[in-house]
Amino acid sequence: MIKILKQPEGSIEVKRFYLDESKIIIVCPNCKSEREYDDYLSYPKINEFMKKSFYCYECNCEWQEEIKLNLTIEVKEKSNG
């Protein structure tokens, strides 16, 4: 049996966390144009909000959003079979 007493927190010991398999669309707050975000997170923190800057190539607008990378540890329950 495994008991999880506390979920991870703090930062991941990586310089860049790539979002290769993610599908994230960012929308410019100024001109409302949309584009896919396929970048990475620099020195990401887990389970807490961090500020991320975005740039719109259509209207040259720059803005910030607060995003959160959630990390959860789960134990798969054994089946009775």
The mean per-residue pLDDT over the stretch 4-33 comes to 85
pTM score, whole prediction: 0.69
Give the span between the Cα atoms of 79 and 62, in whole angstroms. 51
- For 32-78, how does the pLDDT look when each residue is reduced to its tens digit (9 = 90+)? 999 988 788 888 888 889 999 999 999 999 999 999 888 888 888 88
DSSP-based three-state secondary structure for 34: strand
Please check the confidence at residue 27 and state whether its pLDDT lies above 90.
yes
Partnered with residue 35 across adjacent β-strands are: 26
